[in-house]
Structure 1
Amino acid sequence: MKSKLPRIFIILLGIGFLINLLQSYFTPLIFDEAYYWHYAEKLSWGYFDHPPLVALLIKISGFFFDGELGVRFMSCVLSTATLFILWSTIDNPKKKDYVVHFFVLAYSMTLLNAYGFFTLPDTPLLFFTALLLYVYKRFLEKPSLFWGIIMGITMAGLMYSKYHAALVIIFILLSNIKLVFNKYAWLSVFVALLCYVPHFIWLSQNDYVTINYHLFDRPNDPYNFKKYTLGYFVNLVALFGLTFPWVYWGLFKARANDKFTRALLFLVYGVLIFFFISSFNRRIQTQWIIVISIPLIIIVFRFMMENEIAKKWIYRMGLVNIAIILYLRIGLVYEPMSPIYYETHGNIGLVKDVAKKIGNMPLVFENSYRNAPIFEFYSGNNTYSLNNESYRLNQYSIDDSEPKVQHQKILYLSGRATDADEIFTKEDGSKMYGKYIDNFESFRKLKTLLEEPVDFKAGQEQIFQLYNPYDFDIDLNKLQFNVAYMTDFKIVKDRLPIIPKLNDPNITSIGAKDTLTYTFKFPEPRELKDPTYVRIGIMENGLIYGINGKNTKVK
């Protein structure tokens, strides 16, 4: 990368970095950031929802700062480096005359702006996408051992950021099929896979929990055009705000006159087509397609330098975008200025209200991997998310958070208006209901295993296995069982109790790391006469039934 930069470039890049630092310091964490901070409390080669790089960034940030900046500092660094890399990737002698236009284009992109300081998996994803494009351009100019190794390391960085990174790699490679005959390209693939081995091992050791969740276990809804496909097109507009007509105009006018531009176009169109097709199956979240912002900055900036109309309107509308974004960013810090009630608002006050009541007592949240880490971050109390059958599995289902709250007096917090000892009200009027439990005990890691596919027939005798992964015995009298009947979309329609039996009625406990075999009969469904999936759940000590079994396909 060329070291000589226009002075105005350094100034505008520095201003953006400084604004992001200030925003990071003064803005309370959003729920997902707190969740990833929880990841970083114990570094690992993988986590339930994502690869580990986001946790590593938070851990590194924590070496330099405390508080919110100790979560976000590396995001500020990476987002600044991303713009520097993009600038360095653009080989056009006229670009020094359009520095301000470059920054207006980049800073006006809505989510790209947000990921300038929020610490989310997309932050390193955007950085490594920009870096891969830069490295790939140099690789095309001079394929060599050096660039092959660097490209492999960069691809590994992408995959350690987010699984969607596979799309970036695939579409860049598809843009140049002749790479299959390039020994250095194969070297880069080998290096990437070698670097990724620790994560493969983690997945294997954890029963591929991340892949199973994202591909097989997530519930879905029947297709809804307005919610899915139309919502996808709304996201395409939201990515760029008021500049979107000229951004997509620049994309449509671009031509693949060289291999690098061909890679840019393959990446953008590939991602757009992939998620358009996916929109017929599920709702597409805006951040899933944010990666197209990186190649589009290069494509559209080139277009701006050649087209006066695009340059004029992107500059004008970009400045309006920036003004709106800055106003919203101030609203994140100073709540009275915010036009909406955002998720950062009111959390610190709520945490203080709860802490004032309970001191350092542990907190157990019903179905909230969002509230549990927010409360732990701002109060320092041990917290745990107790996930039941109405929710989903998450990092709290596989890590060591559960033992930290066992056999202690805890405050159990939920959104259900039950017989509560404490009621807390957030600024938006939502309530949180608390119940004290003197000796909390849960066994959410107990596993129920059905043979797959299961031969479903109400009243017919079946078997399932109960596995105890804990290093202590568990009294079976503390456990009750139920069965959930699910649709094709894994939506639960029936939850019915079952009374399974052991062959030996004298067995009263299940040993550590032991397995027991139960016989039971499927109860007659009430709503779903022909379930597509079934699952066995466990209630311990009167808590709500958990997600202890896999969604098992019915024959």
Structure 2
Amino acid sequence: MAQKTPRLFYLLLTVLFVLNLLQAAFTELIYDEAYYWYYAQNMDWGYFDHPSMVALLIKISSLFFTGELGVRFMSCLLSVGIYLIVWEIIDHPKKREYVIHFFLLLFSMTLMNAYGFFTLPDTPLLFFTALFLLLYKRFLNNPNIYISLALGVTMAALMYSKYHAVLVILFVFLSNFKLVFNWKAWLAVGIALVCYVPHFLWLMEYDFVSIKYHLFERPNQAYSFEKFTLGYLVNLVAIFGLLFYWVYYALVTDKRKDQFSKALRYLTYGVLIFFFVSSFNRRVQTQWIIVISIPMAIIAFRHLLENEKSRKWMFRMAMISAILLIYARAWLIYQPLLPILYEAHGNKNWVMDLKSKAGDVPVVFENSYRQAPMYEFYAGKPSFSLNNFMYRKNQYSIDGSEDRVRGKDVLYVTKYRNAGDVQFKHPDSSVFYGSFLKDFQSYRKLQCLVEKENENEPWELKIHNPYEFDVPLENLNFAVAYSNAYKQVKEQVSLEVTSIDEQQHILKSKDTVFYSFELPKSKKMEKPSYFRIGLANKGLLTGLQGMPTKIE
């Protein structure tokens, strides 16, 4: 590769790497990055929202640097790796003449540009998608055990990056049915499954909490063409920016017959169609379709090499895009360049303001798995996100972070109240109030299971205590949260329960207590579709310890 690649390629690659390093070092974290940084403080084989690759990247970055670069260094490395791999995949004889065009094309892809320095699960997803395609191309040319081994490890790395990476693997394999009869292909699959065993075991240990949330618990909303399907189509334009026309034109006019080109088209069309169909059920986020950036970059650059007219227009649009994106990058560092506030702006300021008022006590944020890790990152002090019935579950719901604040004096921060001991203003102008609480107690890990044998009998409620300590039952409040057909919580109503054993006042560690109850009448909803049981220590809003239960 070194003998064939022009020096200009390595020069531009170095410039890109330095640019991304500077961007990573001087741009404040966005909230998702802070959340994934929080992952990395306790390494595991899985987390509530995603598998563990993003946490691993941050952990490795922190070995070399501190601060923001200690979160993003590996993303900068993977970004230049993507450019190298895509360049290697393209074996067109004219590519050496258009190195600048190649860099401008990839740099102009908006999300690929952003993931050159932001550390999100999509960052490794893009890198391993590119690596998977390179290895697959080599497998087609020379299938051997070593390529199978590399393919297997890469497929596992894809799945450790993000769950929907399975689409990448699935659509590439669907493009070549002969792989069904190729034992070396099955060897790759077997190696991938073996490498993924630790995550399977993690899922079993946590009762498949991630799968349950994404498939069954995640709130949705009524179908809206503008928000769902039209929004999805707008996203298809957004990921390629000003080059979208030529990129998609390259796709629809690509007629190459070789097996690898077929795989590129299957992967791209497969992902596009899958999420188009999904858009009729839920809103499709832009980053969900980011994987098509890799095959589309390959297809678009080959089109650029072979079509002079397209090449001229793509170069012009890419130059404009690059200028706009560089300006946007500068704005990420220095907000006054644009009259728009982004979540990377002002986080150090609000954290330092709150830290000065909280002192050394831990800060508990109500319903904010985003602000809790941001505070902990910049303040260097422990924090916790306490979720109630109006908020979704997250990593704070399943890990041991609750133990860091239980029994301690804390500052309880919320934006849902209009008074407190302290207050601070968020950069988005939201005002938050904090109240100092002594001997803070919460029991969000208590597990509630409801059953009903027949329609004429009351509901049965089982409460299991997974903690290593006993829980006083008289300190608990019970409530039921009613949801609509889309599992959006609309109301909470106090719940009266009847204990099977009225003499039982303590729920011992690892033990289960039994209650019965009748569902109270909803005051706001004519006909709720789901309900969930919630518990809380007195003085706090109840959580969502139960699963959504259909109301017949």
Instruction: Note if 1:67 corresponds to 2:70.
Output: no
Is the Cα contact below 8 Å between 1:454 and 1:552 reproduced in 2? Answer: no
Q: Distance in 2 between matches of 1:427 and 1:406?
A: 30
- Structure 2: state its 5+ residue gaps: none
Instruction: Note if 1:421 corresponds to 2:426.
Output: no
- The corresponding residue for 1:481 is 478
* Alpha-carbon shift at residue 554 of structure 1 (Å): 3.3
What letter corresponds to residue 439 of structure 1 in structure 2? Answer: D
* Alpha-carbon shift at residue 485 of structure 1 (Å): 2.2
* Alpha-carbon shift at residue 3 of structure 1 (Å): 5.5
TM-score normalised over the length of structure 1: 0.98
Give per-residue Cα distances to partners, 1:432-451, cap 9 Å, x unaligned: 11111122111111111012
Instruction: Note if 1:497 corresponds to 2:494.
Output: yes
Is the Cα contact below 8 Å between 1:2 and 1:88 reproduced in 2? Answer: no
Q: Distance in 2 between matches of 1:408 and 1:341?
A: 36
- The corresponding residue for 2:330 is 330
* Alpha-carbon shift at residue 454 of structure 1 (Å): 7.6
* Alpha-carbon shift at residue 526 of structure 1 (Å): 2.8
Task: Tell me: CA distance 1:529–1:112, structure 2 relative to 1, closer, same or farther (3 Å).
Answer: same
Q: Distance in 2 between matches of 1:492 and 1:22?
A: 43
* Alpha-carbon shift at residue 407 of structure 1 (Å): 1.3
* Alpha-carbon shift at residue 249 of structure 1 (Å): 0.7
Give per-residue Cα distances to partners, 1:78-97, cap 9 Å, x unaligned: 01101100000111111100
Q: Distance in 1 between matches of 2:34 and 2:305?
A: 41
What letter corresponds to residue 13 of structure 2 in structure 1? Answer: L
Superposed, 1:110-509 pairs within 5 Å as 110-451=110-451, 461-509=458-506
Give per-residue Cα distances to partners, 1:320-363, cap 9 Å, x unaligned: 11111111110111111134100011110011111112222100
Task: Tell me: CA distance 1:455–1:16, structure 2 relative to 1, closer, same or farther (3 Å).
Answer: farther
Instruction: Note if 1:519 corresponds to 2:521.
Output: no
Q: Distance in 2 between matches of 1:252 and 1:461?
A: 60
What letter corresponds to residue 80 of structure 1 in structure 2? Answer: V
Is the Cα contact below 8 Å between 2:130 and 2:294 reproduced in 1? Answer: yes
Q: Distance in 1 between matches of 2:319 and 2:276?
A: 30
Is the Cα contact below 8 Å between 2:496 and 2:517 reproduced in 1? Answer: yes
Is the Cα contact below 8 Å between 1:332 and 1:338 reproduced in 2? Answer: no
Task: Tell me: CA distance 1:456–1:117, structure 2 relative to 1, closer, same or farther (3 Å).
Answer: farther
Q: Distance in 2 between matches of 1:2 and 1:245?
A: 34
SS of equivalent residue, structure 2 residue 314: helix
SS of equivalent residue, structure 2 residue 297: helix
What letter corresponds to residue 234 of structure 2 in structure 1? Answer: V
Q: How many residues align?
A: 552
What letter corresponds to residue 512 of structure 1 in structure 2? Answer: S
Q: Distance in 2 between matches of 1:157 and 1:456?
A: 48
Q: Percent identity among equivalent residues?
A: 54
Is the Cα contact below 8 Å between 2:305 and 2:311 reproduced in 1? Answer: yes
Task: Tell me: CA distance 1:402–1:454, structure 2 relative to 1, closer, same or farther (3 Å).
Answer: farther
What letter corresponds to residue 162 of structure 1 in structure 2? Answer: K
SS of equivalent residue, structure 1 residue 164: helix
SS of equivalent residue, structure 1 residue 518: strand
* Alpha-carbon shift at residue 542 of structure 1 (Å): 1.4
Instruction: Note if 1:540 corresponds to 2:531.
Output: no
Is the Cα contact below 8 Å between 1:330 and 1:338 reproduced in 2? Answer: no
What letter corresponds to residue 304 of structure 2 in structure 1? Answer: M
Is the Cα contact below 8 Å between 2:350 and 2:425 reproduced in 1? Answer: yes
Task: Tell me: CA distance 1:535–1:274, structure 2 relative to 1, closer, same or farther (3 Å).
Answer: same
SS of equivalent residue, structure 1 residue 273: helix
- Structure 1: state its 5+ residue gaps: none
What letter corresponds to residue 320 of structure 2 in structure 1? Answer: V
* Alpha-carbon shift at residue 455 of structure 1 (Å): 5.8
- The corresponding residue for 1:549 is 546
Is the Cα contact below 8 Å between 2:389 and 2:492 reproduced in 1? Answer: no
- The corresponding residue for 1:93 is 93
Give per-residue Cα distances to partners, 1:350-395, cap 9 Å, x unaligned: 1111111222210000000100000000001110000010000000
Task: Tell me: CA distance 1:86–1:349, structure 2 relative to 1, closer, same or farther (3 Å).
Answer: same
- The corresponding residue for 1:81 is 81
Q: Distance in 2 between matches of 1:456 and 1:47?
A: 38
What letter corresponds to residue 102 of structure 1 in structure 2? Answer: F
Is the Cα contact below 8 Å between 1:179 and 1:185 reproduced in 2? Answer: yes
Is the Cα contact below 8 Å between 1:72 and 1:119 reproduced in 2? Answer: yes
What letter corresponds to residue 537 of structure 1 in structure 2? Answer: G
What letter corresponds to residue 462 of structure 2 in structure 1? Answer: Q
SS of equivalent residue, structure 2 residue 317: helix
Task: Tell me: CA distance 1:167–1:3, structure 2 relative to 1, closer, same or farther (3 Å).
Answer: farther
Is the Cα contact below 8 Å between 1:385 and 1:396 reproduced in 2? Answer: yes
Give per-residue Cα distances to partners, 1:446-487, cap 9 Å, x unaligned: 111012x78667xx5221100111111111111011112222
* Alpha-carbon shift at residue 409 of structure 1 (Å): 1.3
* Alpha-carbon shift at residue 418 of structure 1 (Å): 2.9
Task: Tell me: CA distance 1:8–1:339, structure 2 relative to 1, closer, same or farther (3 Å).
Answer: farther
Is the Cα contact below 8 Å between 1:62 and 1:70 reproduced in 2? Answer: yes
Q: Distance in 2 between matches of 1:281 and 1:334?
A: 39
Q: Distance in 2 between matches of 1:427 and 1:150?
A: 46
Give per-residue Cα distances to partners, 1:391-442, cap 9 Å, x unaligned: 0000000111101011111111111233211110133322111111122111
